[in-house]
């Protein structure tokens, strides 16, 4: 009986806390936590900065915490905000998904925002065509792209901060059971050089490949690239002269030097439009580069997520 009474007391306390809190303010919290700017968060919620600041003041009183403090140009979350952020994000996501199930998703009329996680390597290669296709079908949708700090950002997918993550294939055993992984496309690797590379102009051989210096992009600051690990298996080693965290500078470094870079063909073709580079067939066998679309099982079955996944997966990229 004591346990029942305690549970009843807890429920009354929870209900009291919810009654004194305007749940609309949780959207305000969620926007400011993500954007760290009152101006940007207010714009996203179609509010004036003054109205947003007033709402933030009410939320601070209701939760008895400053929640965000200004440091330079950013609003930095307090310890209490950080502790609450994932739960609030997930609650808003689940509420939105629950309400959405009672309604038919109409792409042409929807004004919702989809958030993607991707490296710049993947984003510039696949998103331009995808966004063009989405805009034709759903002109009022908003898209937000975040840098993926892991191949599969599990915490962000689970918390609903990210709707989809674009990443490369991993062994099936690497996937968490609550992650939905869909095959997107398969690409082949190419070797990239400057247009006037002396060695490559004569035909790229394994010997000349290994004799050249190389540029390697490791988006998560890995000690070595995937190609280096493959060469290890072949008892071979190349000379890595430049490590980069992003791909944007790489083709211009290659285009103005005698260094080489090994990367997927689709990305290389896109970069070829901006840099003086040439593409070559690798002088050794490299497994295909397989890209997947990751989402969380809690949201993957909603009409909106299913539509977006189908649109992405059916967009011709090659």
The reply to whether 195 and 206 lie within a common domain is yes
237-266: pLDDT as tens digits: 999 999 998 888 999 999 999 999 999 999
The reply to whether 258 and 200 lie within a common domain is yes
* Residue 107 maps to a domain: no
The reply to whether 50 and 27 lie within a common domain is yes
Exposed, middle or buried, 103 (CB in 10 Å: 0-12/13-18/19+)? exposed
Nearest to 166 by CA among 215, 217, 214, 131: 131
The reply to whether 297 and 308 lie within a common domain is yes
What the block records as the tokens of 67 is: 């929640």
Q: Where in the sequence is the domain holding 49, given as residue range(s)?
A: 2-101
* Residue 33 maps to a domain: yes
The reply to whether 211 and 241 lie within a common domain is yes
* Residue 166 maps to a domain: yes
The reply to whether 268 and 309 lie within a common domain is no
**How many domains does one find in the chain?**
3
The reply to whether 27 and 94 lie within a common domain is yes
The reply to whether 303 and 163 lie within a common domain is yes
- pLDDT the model gives residue 318: 66
Radius of gyration of the chain (CA): 24
The reply to whether 213 and 160 lie within a common domain is no
Give the domain-ending residue among 47, 75, 101.
101
Nearest to 141 by CA among 109, 184, 98, 119: 109
What CA–CA distance (Å, rounded) separates 315 from 213? Answer: 36
Sheet strand arrangement including 289-296: 142-147, 113-118, 164-168, 289-296, 179-187
- pLDDT the model gives residue 188: 94
Residue 71 sits in a domain whose CATH number is 1.10.10.10
pLDDT tops 70 at residue 305: yes
Give the domain-ending residue among 66, 101, 136.
101
* Residue 159 maps to a domain: yes
What CA–CA distance (Å, rounded) separates 145 from 211? Answer: 38
Mean pLDDT along residues 263-275: 91
- pLDDT the model gives residue 5: 47
* Residue 39 maps to a domain: yes
111-123: pLDDT as tens digits: 888 999 998 888 8
Sheet strand arrangement including 277-280: 261-264, 189-194, 277-280
136-182: pLDDT as tens digits: 999 999 898 888 877 778 888 887 788 999 988 765 556 788 889 99
Contact predicate 38/56, CB 8 Å: yes
* Residue 106 maps to a domain: no
Residue 263 sits in a domain whose CATH number is 3.40.190.10
* Residue 254 maps to a domain: yes
The reply to whether 36 and 118 lie within a common domain is no
* Residue 318 maps to a domain: no
pLDDT above 70 coverage of the chain, percent: 89
Nearest to 306 by CA among 104, 154, 27, 88: 104
Residue that wins the pLDDT comparison between 208 and 301: 208
The reply to whether 206 and 223 lie within a common domain is yes
- pLDDT the model gives residue 174: 65
Mean pLDDT along residues 101-111: 79
Residue 262 dihedral angles phi and psi, to the nearest 5°: -110, 125
The reply to whether 257 and 299 lie within a common domain is no
- pLDDT the model gives residue 172: 56
Largest CA distance in the chain: 87
- pLDDT the model gives residue 146: 87
């Amino acid at each position: 009986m004591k346990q029942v009474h305690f549970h009843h007391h807890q429920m009354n306390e929870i209900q009291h806390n919810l009654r004194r809190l305007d749940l609309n303010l949780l959207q305000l919290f969620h926007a400011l936590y993500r954007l760290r700017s009152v101006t940007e968060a207010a714009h996203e919620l179609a509010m004036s900065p003054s109205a947003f600041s007033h709402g933030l003041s009410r939320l601070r009183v209701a939760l008895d915490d400053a929640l965000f403090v200004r440091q330079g140009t950013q609003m930095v979350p307090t310890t209490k905000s950080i502790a609450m952020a994932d739960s609030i994000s997930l609650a808003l996501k689940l509420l939105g998904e629950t309400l959405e199930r009672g309604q038919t998703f109409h792409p042409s009329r929807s004004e919702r925002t989809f958030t993607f996680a991707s490296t710049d390597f993947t984003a510039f290669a696949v998103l331009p065509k995808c966004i063009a296709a989405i805009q034709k079908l759903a002109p009022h949708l908003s898209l937000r792209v975040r840098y993926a700090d892991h191949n599969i950002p599990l915490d962000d997918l689970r918390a609903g901060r990210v709707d989809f993550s674009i990443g490369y294939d991993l062994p099936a055993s690497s996937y968490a059971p609550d992650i939905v992984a869909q095959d997107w496309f398969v690409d082949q690797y190419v070797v990239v050089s400057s247009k006037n590379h002396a060695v490559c102009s004569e035909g790229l051989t394994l010997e000349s490949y290994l004799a050249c210096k190389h540029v390697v992009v490791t988006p998560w600051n890995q000690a070595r690239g995937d190609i280096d690990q493959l060469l290890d298996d072949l008892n071979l080693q190349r000379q890595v002269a430049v490590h980069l965290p992003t791909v944007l500078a790489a083709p211009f470094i290659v285009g103005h030097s005698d260094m080489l870079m090994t990367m997927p063909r689709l990305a290389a073709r896109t970069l070829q439009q901006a840099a003086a580079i040439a593409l070559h067939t690798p002088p050794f066998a490299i497994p295909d580069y397989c890209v997947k679309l990751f989402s969380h099982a809690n949201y993957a079955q909603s009409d909106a997520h299913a539509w977006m996944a189908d649109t992405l997966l059916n967009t011709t990229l090659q």
